[in-house]
Amino acid sequence: MNDIDHSLFRRLDLNLLVAFDALVTESSVTRAASRLCIGQPAMSHALGRLRELFQDDILYREGAAMQPTGRALALAPAVRELLLGAHRLALANERFDPARVEEQFRIALNDPLEALLLPALMARLRAEAPGLLLSVRPIPASRQLDELDAGTIRLAVGHFPRVRAVHEQIPLHDAGFCCVCNPALISLPEQVRLEDLVDLPHIHTSYTGDAPGMIDRALQQRGLRRRIVAHAATPLSIPFVVRQSPLVAVVPELVSRLFLRHGDLRILPLALDDLHLPISAVFHRRDSSDPLAGFMRDTLLETAHAVLAEDTGAEAHR
């Protein structure tokens, strides 16, 4: 914007450009005045100011009619585009109607959260914003905030221990942890403690790679270490693995909800109250007043609170 001489705008009244558009469109002072719901003297005065501003007659008389000048016709498209831009700015503060949205909205969800949230989220969006294209991007958790800053996505949902000042973080759920195994192959007590896990072979999954997770750090604080014999790229493969192999998996309670249909598995809560996984939604503050982002934020929050608050705990699947 440094190439604009703002002092020139002191001579330019937007209402004059509205009058210019009406005069060129109607080729008549009377009809232009009627179009703008003003008196003919006021329109004649506006025409005089326009002639002074542009150093051109704007309209000239030809017989009984008036015609726009060549310069007026040359200026008309640029004036119309400027007025359309001003019109769009004026409409920006109107009440947002999701039913009229025709846009793509990109978000990041890991596999378990996508499986949990997307069905209910899409059902609401199809009912309220049928023209919206929701695009879930497969972005590793370690890169999601960077992609949010870059504008590649407009929303990230997951576990974010640290966010930056440019982010708005909204808590969704605090998930505990569960142990999953095939009781025909692995024996676990009813009340599972960390100490019960150290002698068992584990399958582990981490959204950030093979680095130690929250369970491993909790074990280390107690001077313990578990034996991981397999790393899975996604937790969704775990029930199929532990069904056939004598392994145990420790997963967030939210993830274990996806295993409830596997009736031959045993899912037990880990008896450790201070160990939990906060799940939140993160937006960029540049979208703080964007109506579509606000609609998506509210819709996601309502969906997440309805879905994640459901009582589908491990106690019902022992």
Domain with CATH 3.40.190.10 in the chain: 100-172+282-311, 177-275
Whole-model pTM: value is 0.67
As given in the structure block, the two tokens for residue 131 are 């023209």
| HSE value, Cβ hemisphere, 13 Å, CA-based, for 278 | 10
Q: How far does Cα 142 stand from its chain's mean position?
A: 18
Among the listed ranges 43-47, 111-115, 272-276, which one has the minimum average pLDDT value? Answer: 272-276
> What percent of the chain shows pLDDT beyond 70?
90
Domain with CATH 1.10.10.10 in the chain: 6-91
Long-range CB pairs of 183-186 (<8 Å, 24+ gap) are 183/265, 183/266, 184/264, 185/242, 185/245, 185/246, 185/247, 186/242, 186/246, 186/247, 186/248
- Are the beta carbons of 154 and 105 closer than 8 angstroms? yes
Name beta bridge partners: 85. none
Local confidence band at 163 (pLDDT 50, 70, 90 cut-offs): very high
- Are the beta carbons of 156 and 282 closer than 8 angstroms? yes
Query: Model confidence over 120-162: pLDDT tens digits?
Result: 999 999 999 999 999 999 888 889 999 999 999 999 999 998 9
- The CATH superfamily assigned to 100-172+282-311 is Periplasmic binding protein-like II (3.40.190.10)
Fold of 177-275: D-Maltodextrin-Binding Protein; domain 2 (3.40.190)
- In the CATH hierarchy, which top-level class contains the domain 6-91? mainly alpha
Query: Model confidence over 183-194: pLDDT tens digits?
Result: 999 999 988 888
Local confidence band at 15 (pLDDT 50, 70, 90 cut-offs): confident
Q: Where are the alpha helices (DSSP H) in the chain?
A: 14-26, 29-35, 40-54, 70-91, 111-128, 141-150, 214-221, 238-244, 253-256, 291-308
CA angle 127–130–132, rounded 5-degree value: 125
Q: Where are the alpha helices (DSSP H) in 9-61?
A: 14-26, 29-35, 40-54
- C-alpha–C-alpha distance, residues 111 and 232, integer Å: 13
Query: Model confidence over 219-263: pLDDT tens digits?
Result: 888 899 999 999 888 888 999 999 999 999 999 888 999 998 888
**pLDDT value of residue 95:** 76
